[in-house]
C-alpha cells in the first residue's frame, strides 16, 4: 500500500489538488483500507458499495461525506490504478441543495461592533465586504489591496483561479487603522500577509478566524446557525437586495456558473417583499 499511496499522492499533486483535498482523499482511502484490512486495489464493486452503505447508515455520515468518499475512490481507481470506474457501477449520492443561512445588515453591524481586536475586526470586515471565503481572507497580502481602484485581488481562489472583487471604503478605513497599529512594530512589504498568524511567515489560520467569528456572534446575541462563511452568503444576498446584477455578483464571488449565484435570489428579502400575492389583487375586485 505504501507504493500505491506514493503514486496516489503524486497523481493528486499532478492534478493540482489543494492540500486540503489531498488530505481528505487520503483519509477516505485509509478508511476503506482499515475497514477491509487489505489494499483497495483488491476490492470489487460490492465491497466498495457495502463500505459506503455502512458509512452512511451505520456510522451516520452525511451525504456530503459520502460524495467526498466517492470522489476520492473514483480518482484512485481511474487515475492511480487506471481502471474503468463505470464498470464498478457505484451510485453517487445526490447533493442536497440547502439555502444558506444569512444575517441581516443589523446583525452584521452588531457583529463588528462587539469585535474589539483590530486585526480580528479587519479580517471579518474584509471577508464580508468583499465576499471572500475565509481561506481567501487569511491569505491576503498587502499588495492585494488596491486602494486606487478600490479592488481586492484574490490569489488562487477555488479552482486555483485569480480574481478581483470590490473593496469597501469602510473596510479600507478600518484596515488603515489596523495597519497603522501593526506598522508601529514591524516592517512590511507588498508580499507580506495582511493578517499574519502566530507562526512567522504564515498567515492567520482559518480555524482562528472561525473561533473569532463564533465568539463575536455570541457576544452580538445572534442566535442563527451561522458560521464565518455566512458572511460571504450575506454579502451575496445583500448585494442582490441592493439591486446589483446577478452576473456581476457571480464574478465578484468567483462562481463558475451563474446558476450557483442564483440561489441567493431565493433568500433575498427585498425582492421577495416587492412581489405581491395574487390574493391582494383578488381583494380589489
Residue from 158, 163, 219, 271 carrying the catalytic annotation: 158
Q: Active site includes 161?
A: no
Count of CA atoms in the C-beta half-sphere (13 A) of 243: 1
Closest CA to 100 of 266, 213, 272: 266
- Cβ(73)–Cβ(32) under 8 Å? yes
Q: Active site includes 232?
A: yes
Q: Active site includes 264?
A: yes
Residue from 5, 67, 176, 229 carrying the catalytic annotation: 229
Q: Active site includes 193?
A: no
Residue from 28, 119, 238, 255 carrying the catalytic annotation: 255
Q: Active site includes 15?
A: no
The DSSP secondary-structure symbol of 195 reads S
- Three cell numbers written together for 141: 497580502
> What percent of the residues of the chain are helix, what percent strand, and what percent coil, each to the nearest 5?
60, 5, 35
Count the helices and strands in the chain (H runs, E runs).
Answer: 14, 3
Q: Active site includes 120?
A: no
- Extract the runs of DSSP E, i.e. beta strands, from the chain: 145-146, 151-154, 163-166
Residue from 70, 128, 178, 264 carrying the catalytic annotation: 264
Residue from 121, 133, 233, 238 carrying the catalytic annotation: 133
Residue from 119, 120, 232, 233 carrying the catalytic annotation: 232
Distance CA 76, CA 83 (A): 9
Active site residues: 133, 158, 229, 232, 255, 264
Amino acid at each position: 500500500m505504501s507504493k500505491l499511496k506514493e503514486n496516489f499522492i503524486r497523481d493528486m499533486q499532478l492534478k493540482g489538488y489543494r492540500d486540503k483535498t489531498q488530505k481528505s482523499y487520503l483519509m477516505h482511502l485509509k478508511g476503506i483500507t482499515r475497514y477491509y484490512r487489505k489494499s483497495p486495489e483488491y476490492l470489487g464493486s460490492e465491497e466498495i458499495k457495502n463500505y459506503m452503505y455502512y458509512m452512511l447508515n451505520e456510522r451516520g455520515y452525511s451525504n456530503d461525506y459520502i460524495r467526498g468518499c466517492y470522489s476520492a475512490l473514483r480518482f484512485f481507481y481511474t487515475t492511480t490504478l487506471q481502471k474503468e470506474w463505470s464498470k464498478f457501477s457505484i451510485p453517487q449520492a445526490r447533493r442536497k441543495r440547502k439555502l444558506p443561512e444569512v444575517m441581516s445588515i443589523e446583525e452584521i453591524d452588531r457583529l463588528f461592533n462587539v469585535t474589539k481586536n483590530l486585526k480580528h475586526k479587519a479580517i471579518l470586515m474584509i471577508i464580508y465586504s468583499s465576499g471572500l471565503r475565509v481561506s481567501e481572507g487569511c491569505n491576503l497580502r498587502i499588495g492585494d489591496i488596491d486602494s486606487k481602484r478600490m479592488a481586492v485581488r484574490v490569489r488562487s481562489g477555488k479552482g486555483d483561479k485569480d480574481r478581483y472583487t470590490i473593496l469597501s471604503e469602510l473596510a479600507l478605513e478600518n484596515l488603515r487603522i489596523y495597519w497603522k497599529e501593526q506598522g508601529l512594530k514591524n516592517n512590511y512589504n507588498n508580499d507580506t500577509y495582511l493578517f499574519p498568524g502566530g507562526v512567522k511567515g504564515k498567515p492567520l489560520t482559518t480555524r482562528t478566524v472561525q473561533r473569532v467569528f463564533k465568539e463575536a456572534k455570541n457576544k452580538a446575541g445572534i442566535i442563527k446557525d451561522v458560521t464565518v462563511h455566512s458572511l460571504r452568503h450575506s454579502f451575496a444576498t445583500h448585494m442582490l437586495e441592493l439591486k446589483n446584477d446577478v452576473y456581476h455578483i457571480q464574478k465578484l464571488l468567483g462562481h463558475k456558473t451563474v446558476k450557483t449565484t442564483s440561489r441567493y435570489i431565493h433568500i433575498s428579502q427585498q425582492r421577495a417583499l416587492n412581489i405581491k400575492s395574487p390574493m391582494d389583487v383578488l381583494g380589489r375586485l
